[in-house]
Amino acid sequence: MTNEKQSKDAAAFEKNIHTDFTNNMTYGEYLQLDQILSAQKRLSGHHDEMLFIIIHQVTELWMKLILHEINAAIVSIKTDDMAAAQKRLARVSKTQSQIIQAWDVLSTMTPSEYMEFRESLGQASGFQSYQYRMIEFALGYKTPHVLKIYQKDEKLQKTLRDAYETPSLYDVAIHALSRAGIGIDPEVLNRDVTQAYHQNDSVLHAWMKVYKNPDAYWELYELAEKLVDIEDWLQQWRFRHMKTVERIIGFKSGTGGSSGVGYLKKVLDQQFFPELWAIRTKL
Residue positions forming the annotated binding site? 52-56, 114, 118, 241, 255
- The span from the CA of 88 to the CA of 79, in Å, is 14
Q: Report how far residue 194's alpha carbon sits from residue 166's, in angstroms, rounded to the nearest whole number.
A: 8
Which helix or strand (DSSP H or E) is residue 64 part of? helix 49-78
Helix pair angle (130-139, 154-164), 10° resolution: 20
Amino acid identity of residue 241, one-letter, is H
Count of residues making up the chain: 283
Task: Count the helices and strands in the chain (H runs, E runs).
Answer: 14, 0
Residue list, annotated binding site for substrate = 52-56, 114, 118, 255
Sequence ranges of the binding site for heme = 241
With CA atoms as reference, report the closest residue to 223 among 156, 172, 159: 172
Those residues whose C-beta lies under 8 Å from the C-beta of residue 155, and which sit 6 or more positions away, are none
Our CA angle for 208, 273, 185, nearest 5°, is: 60
